[in-house]
Amino acid sequence: MNIEYYSKNIELADQTKEFISKKCQVFDKFKGRITSCRWNLSHDQHHRKGDVYRAEINLGLKDGNVLQVEETGEDLLAAVDLAKDKVKHQLVKLKNKLVSQRRK
């Protein structure tokens, strides 16, 4: 799967990219449905207290739909992990919906 990265107000290290690609291996069982994967990572600078990082993932699906999830956290890797869990939940929900429609 081809993973695209877009970062704003932060510099992405190679370790961060490896961490994200390792987390995206969970999507391998949905490989037939996913056509593209794009991560938008940013550091919000308008907050007065603490660091706020935002991780957004856009998955392009084979049927033309797009799954989009946005999560925030105090750490970039934590925000990535939360977004991955949320999009995995949406993929499982979509898969179950399609299976139940076929059974009808």
Per-residue pLDDT tens over the stretch 45-91: 877 777 899 999 999 999 888 999 999 999 999 999 999 999 999 99
Average of per-residue pLDDT across 10-24: 91
Average pLDDT over all residues of the chain: 89
Please report the DSSP string for 8-59 in residue order. Answer: ESS---HHHHHHHHHHGGGGGGGTTTEEEEEEEEEEE---SSS-EEEEEEEE
Domain that holds residue 39: 3-103
| Local confidence band at 101 (pLDDT 50, 70, 90 cut-offs) | confident
CATH number at residue 8: 3.30.160.100
Residue 104: the pLDDT is 73
